[in-house]
Amino acid sequence: MRVLLWISILTIALFANTSKETISLQLSWLHQFQFAGFYVAKEKGFYEEANLDVTLKEYASNIHPTQEVLEGRSTYGVVNGSSLLLDRNAQKPVVALMALFQSDPSVLVSTNPAIKSPKDLKYKYLLMSDEDFRSVGILAMFLSHGIKREELFLKNHSLNLETLINQQVDAMACYISNEPFILKEKNISYTVLSPRDHGFNFYGDVLFTSEKELLLHPKRAKAFYDATKKGWEWAFEHIDETAQLIYENYNTQKKSLEALTYEGKTLKELAFDEEGLFGTLKPSKFEEIGNIYRVGGIMKNGLSLKGFIDPLFFAKTEVRIGVLNSRDESNSLSKSWDENAQYLSSLFPLHHFVVIPLDFKTLEERVKNHTIEFVITNPLQGLQLEHRYGLGRIATLSSPYKGNYYSELGTVIFTRADAKQIQSYEDARSKKIGAVSEHSFGGYLLGIKELGIASNKNITFFQTHFNVIKAVLNGSVDVGIVRTDIIEQMVHEGFIKQSDLKVLGAKTHPNFPFISSTDLYPGWMLAKMPNTPETLSNELLSTLLKPPSASSSSKPLYRVNTTLDYSKIHHILKEFHLFPYEQEAITFEDVYAKYKFLLLGLGIAFILSLLFSLYIQLLNRKLQHYSHEVQRFNETLEQEVNERTHELSLLNAKLKDLANIDELTKIANRRYFFLLATQYFHAAKRNNTPLHILSIDIDWLKKVNDTYGHAMGDEVLKAFCKHVQSSLRQSDLFGRIGGEEFCVCIQNTPLQGAKILAEKIRHKVEASRESINNQALPAITVSIGLSSLHPEDEEIFDTLKRSDEALYKAKHHGRNQVQIV
């Protein structure tokens, strides 16, 4: 009895492991190469490998695939993409999974020699149904030629091809892969009117299912998707073999093998996207279909594609970004980063980005086990993970605040506003202190450095910045250490009031809006895992560095800068002897256990070397005489080398000056000025900061040269440059663009400041009275044109063009003045 029981259990287990999930697929037409990928997946065992038992249902009259799927008689279906969009717009819960044809094979064919264009079909007889007319490509082709439905005479599509051959109708709706082959075989001339030839390229057949199927059976849907895609790719790689398979097993239409092969080769040209990929679906293409339907009066209400196109991202490779969480709510970080993930996913057609909030421990575990592709974390943990696991730093994070972005951070040391006994760092050192974690840079390390604390005895770690602030407010600790911007976040989101807290050692920093108790350091880093493809990380960095387009449906919450200099972080790690700069005691036992065979070998080598050294000493006595001569030769050679090296260094320095500096005035030449000004331009565009160009021309310099000679003119130029340079800041650029033409590039200064500087230069030059060799230099004046960076400027020369226009205006109005354009 017990044996029978075990046999029964094993039988049930075996059956459970081998039973397949039964599903069905409703086709939109009769069996032919149009559905080749499904036949291949079934006959080649791709569905069986996915543990699926798939029934392929051939089309029959009065059957609509969408209705079959939604009413549960079929699990999946195939239908034209434009028809599926209309169903979705009618609130039917259908979901598009895969485009079988990027271009619709539907065309119009005519055997009437007079028919050359869609406009020739006006008031003509067409063998097509109203549904064929509503096919988006056909509809768009007619609309583009001003032809309405009532201007066409449609006949029942049940009539056969002979009706077209006998010219009983003027054109017929058909598939480019079917009827043209028959006409060729019959040697009948025909004309194809294809929407593609008129600029309308829309989806043909699309694989779809119901929202219910994806909700209840997501793994089954993914398995069916992958096996089906594999079948289609195999079918188009082996067209002859696939045609033979259909001919032998699915040829209900009794097509010839040649017809099936022709169909396969024709459909292959329509199946792949512009990048050579199969099955891709793009929202923009469906939006174009919706626009055509609205123009044609078929779609009345607005179009929403949310949840319609591959909602489980079967076609995309998941890219996981692990982000260090600064809050105590497990899902709060995901919500705040959702815009970035959606933004990236919309720009990467083959990748779906997800943000995973992690604490310090789980973030390192994910990196160690290679279960994420990118990491965003604080600079302390980031540098340590770089050394431990080979992360590749690619950018520094820029956090948003009131419309601007900031790439630096510091630390805030704070207490409750009513803590009167704590007024300084000295008061705080003996109190109970709350910090984030020993791995936190802004929430721990910078704070104890600023406080001068050498021990963690009075420090409690709360794992997140939000928890530290809560602990201070509820009295669990007296003093808190958090990163800059955390307090502002909690105030903005209504968790606390600014008046609840008091910051110790508060400092202000130029162009930095947050309260800080310390100096500023490079902010959080974005890094790639060693196994993350270089092409993906380069494309990600390039995408994040670009400002989002105005038409983009989603915007990134965070931005990045090219990676900042993290040497200040390394200095702090060294100061605190933290990994990778920690000092560990090494015992002789440790060394011997690890290197005993090496030490034995070294001992033997030492004895042999001792014997050998005695022999060498005998030889040295003979060589001693020659060594003095060699030494004298070396000293002479070294002196010559040093002299030549000094000459080369002087020559290199001179060459560098010649390449970058104007020889007469000793300021930047045209090439070097525009090289640096272009960098200033892009930095100002990226950071949304002001930038101005001054175009300066010395008035009547030619008269000076003609009257006093070019030598005196050169002295005037040098004196002019000295006066201008004395008026500029170190960060301003000054360069000679032409003979008497000069430019100044000013950054991080409002327009009023630029105007003041321009007038200062004009007055100083006008008032200058210089002399050389007891001979007074001629008095000169300057005309100045001023222009500021505009949002639409694409390069520095756009701004320069306007400043040149302003300069011309100044010269035209009498010179010795400043004009602004």
pLDDT of residue 652 exceeding 70 = no
What pLDDT is stored for residue 479 in this prediction? Answer: 96
More confident residue, 549 or 666: 666
For the segment 347-371, what is each residue's pLDDT rounded down to a tens digit? Answer: 777 788 888 888 888 989 999 999 9
Binned at pLDDT 50, 70 and 90, residue 14 comes out as: very low
From the centroid of its chain, how far is CA 76? 35
Burial class (CB in 10 A: 0-12, 13-18, 19+), 525: buried
Averaged pLDDT for residues 653-672: 79
pLDDT at 770: 85
Give the Cα separation of 181 and 259 in Å (integer). Answer: 7
What residues pair up with 52 in beta bridges, in sequence order?
Answer: 21
Please state whether beta strands 21-26 and 76-80 pair in parallel, antiparallel, or not at all (unpaired): parallel
| 375: nearest Cα among 387, 392, 399, 400 | 392
Q: Where are the domains of the chain?
A: 22-102+204-295, 106-198, 323-404+526-575, 409-521, 585-659, 670-820
Q: Residue 625: what are its φ and ψ, rounded to 5°?
A: -65, -40
What CA–CA distance (Å, rounded) separates 144 from 129?
20
Indicate the CATH number for domain 323-404+526-575: 3.40.190.10
Taking residue 534's Cβ as centre, other Cβ atoms within 10 Å add up to 9
The CA dihedral of 745, 750, 755, 756, to the nearest 10 degrees, is -110
pLDDT in tens, 735-789: 999 888 999 999 999 999 999 999 999 999 999 888 888 888 899 999 999 999 9
Per-residue pLDDT tens over the stretch 41-55: 999 999 999 999 999
Please state the pTM of the whole predicted model.
Answer: 0.55
In degrees rounded to 5, what are phi and psi of residue 28?
-95, 0
Structure tokens that stand for 685 in this block:
């565009």
Rounded Cα–Cα distance for residues 283 and 289 (Å): 10
- The average pLDDT across 710-721 equals 92
- Cβ proximity of 235 and 242 under 8 Å: yes
365 vs 557, higher pLDDT:
365
Mean pLDDT of 370-397: 88
Lowest mean pLDDT of 218-232, 458-472, 509-523, 754-768, name the range: 509-523
Contacts of 356 (CB under 8 A, 6+ apart): 320, 321, 322, 323, 334, 366, 372
What are the CA-CA distances from residue 596 to residues 1, 591, 592, 593, 610 (Å)?
65, 8, 5, 6, 21
Q: What one-character-per-residue DSSP string does 553-578 give?
A: SS--S-EEEEPPP-HHHHHHHHHTT-
In sequence order, which ranges of 238-302 are alpha helices (DSSP H)? Answer: 239-249, 257-271, 283-295
Residue 745 to residue 737: CA distance in whole angstroms: 12
Q: What is the pLDDT of residue 191?
A: 94
Tally: H helices and E strands in the chain: 29, 33
> Rounded mean pLDDT of 466-480?
94
Distance (Å, rounded) from C-alpha 293 to C-alpha 785?
54
- Residue 416 carries which DSSP code? E
Determine the length of the chain.
821
Write the burial class of residue 38 (CB in 10 Å: 0-12 exposed, 13-18 middle, 19+ buried). Answer: buried
Give the per-residue pLDDT at 113.
Answer: 92
Q: What is the C-alpha to C-alpha distance for residues 89 and 302, in angstroms, rounded to an integer?
A: 8
Q: Do domains 22-102+204-295 and 106-198 have the same CATH topology?
A: yes
How do residues 199-252 score in pLDDT, each as one tens digit?
899 999 999 999 999 999 999 999 999 999 999 999 999 999 999 999 999 999
Report the chain's mean pLDDT, rounded to a whole number.
87
Q: Are 462 and 388 in contact (CB under 8 A)?
A: no
Percent above pLDDT 70 for the chain? 89
Confidence of residue 595 (pLDDT cuts 50, 70, 90): low
DSSP state of 296: T
Using an 8 Å Cβ cutoff, are 719 and 778 in contact?
no
* Number of CB atoms found within 10 A of residue 23's CB: 20
Give per-residue pLDDT as tens, 258-277: 999 999 999 999 999 988 89
Q: How far apart are CA 444 and CA 439, in angstroms?
A: 8
Peptide bond into 530 cis (omega under 30): no
| 816 CA to centre of own chain | 50
What SS3 state is found at 407?
coil
555 pLDDT above the threshold of 80: no
Which fold would CATH assign to domain 22-102+204-295? D-Maltodextrin-Binding Protein; domain 2 (3.40.190)
CA distance 782 to 818: 9
Those residues whose C-beta lies under 8 Å from the C-beta of residue 99, and which sit 6 or more positions away, are: 81, 203, 204, 205, 206, 207, 279, 280, 281
Which residues make beta-bridge pairs with 572? none
Which CATH fold topology does 106-198 show? Answer: D-Maltodextrin-Binding Protein; domain 2 (3.40.190)
Tens digits of residue pLDDT in 102-154: 999 999 999 999 999 999 999 999 998 888 888 889 999 999 999 998 999 99
Q: Which CATH number fits domain 409-521: 3.40.190.10, 3.40.50.300, 3.40.50.720, 3.40.920.10?
A: 3.40.190.10
Asked if 480 and 413 count as a contact pair (C-beta separation under 8 A), the reply is yes
For the annotated catalytic residues, the residue numbers are 740
Counting Cα atoms < 13 Å in the Cβ hemisphere of 391 gives 30
Domain 670-820: which topology? Alpha-Beta Plaits (3.30.70)
- Residues 6 or more apart whose CB falls under 8 angstroms from that of 188 comprise 111, 165
Tokens coding 763: 């007055």
Rounded percentage of the chain residues whose pLDDT exceeds 90:
53
Q: Which residues does 615 contact at the CB level (< 8 Å), separation at least 6?
A: none
Which three-class secondary structure string do you get for 649-660?
HHHHHHHHHHHH
Six-digit token string for 718: 């040098």
- Phi/psi region, residue 205 (left: phi>0; alpha: psi -120 to 50; beta: rest), is beta
In tens, the pLDDT along 21-44 reads 999 999 999 999 999 999 999 999
Q: What is the pLDDT of residue 16?
A: 43
